[in-house]
Amino acid sequence: MDLTLKKIKKDPRINSFIDQTERYIRALGYTDHGRRHIDIVSDRSKMIARKIGLSTHEQETSAIAGWCHDMGNFLGRTQHHYWAGILFSQCYIDESNPDDISQIIQAIVSHDKDDLKIVDKVTACLIIADKSDVHRSRVSSKNIKHIKKDIHDRVNYAITDNKLSVDKQKKAITLSLKLDTKFTDIMDYFSIFTVRMNYCQKAAKYLKYKFHLTINNTKIA
Ligand SMILES: [Fe+2]
Ligand SMILES: [Fe+2]
């Protein structure tokens, strides 16, 4: 079977893992790791893959990895990348091309790994797509007092616009954010997003691109 994002989205096993993850993350009160997030990550992974010139097949592989990367969260946050990789292989290892499966599992497992060594372009696309998703719409709480107390909620809530662009000629991948300083300041942003931005830099470097960050039209990196 040739795996496509369309087929994966209809698979009741994958949908069940995603439903369970949405319930689990909601109960923890964390920012969204469900369909809103994975839809953006899947789209962005595919967009990056397309713009840097990967094959149509690898673009689809990137979209699938993006859709499935967080579905292991319901089995525990700290190892969720491994769980998602295991779940994915259990579903498809016997019915798909093993090289595609390995590539997707590699991307899924690498998206949140401390000892990260990037060895694949699909992995790099997924990392940039995932770590760049910061936005007000990721915050599940509607209570402003509650949002202001939690740094992850506060920083996500403060981001009112998020654009990721890829310039093949200039070899540049740029994340442009609008940050509402009523909710947080740039130092807050960096206290939790430095690690994520480092991931993006590392992934862009692997693709032979430079990663740039712009906040409120000011070039930060
Ligand atoms: Fe994750
Ligand atoms: Fe994610």
Query: Domain residue spans in the chain?
Result: 5-219
Q: CB of 21 within 8 A of CB of 71?
A: yes
Question: Could you tell me the distance, in angstroms and rounded to a whole number, from the CA of residue 37 to the centre of ligand 1?
Answer: 10
d(CA 17, CA 39): 15
Question: Could you tell me the distance, in angstroms and rounded to a whole number, from the CA of residue 130 to the centre of ligand 2?
Answer: 5
Ligand nearest to the CA of 134: 2
pLDDT bucket at 95, cuts 50 / 70 / 90: confident
Question: Could you tell me the distance, in angstroms and rounded to a whole number, from the CA of residue 149 to the centre of ligand 1?
Answer: 23
Q: What is the per-residue burial (b if ≥16 Cβ within 10 Å, else e) of 137-176?
A: bbbbeeeeeebeebebbbbbbbbeebebebeeeeeebbbb
CB-based burial label for 78 (10 Å; 0-12, 13-18, 19+): exposed
Give me the chain's average pLDDT, please.
95
Nearest to 36 by CA among 66, 73, 76: 66
Q: What is the pTM of this model?
A: 0.96
Question: Could you tell me the distance, in angstroms and rounded to a whole number, from the CA of residue 55 to the centre of ligand 2?
Answer: 24
pLDDT bucket at 184, cuts 50 / 70 / 90: confident
Question: Could you tell me the distance, in angstroms and rounded to a whole number, from the CA of residue 5 to the centre of ligand 1?
Answer: 19
Residues in the chain: 221
CATH class of 5-219: mainly alpha
Question: Could you tell me the distance, in angstroms and rounded to a whole number, from the CA of residue 203 to the centre of ligand 2?
Answer: 15
Question: Could you tell me the distance, in angstroms and rounded to a whole number, from the CA of residue 70 to the centre of ligand 1?
Answer: 5
98, containing H or E segment:
helix 98-110
pLDDT digits (tens, 9 = 90+) for 69-82: 999 999 999 999 99
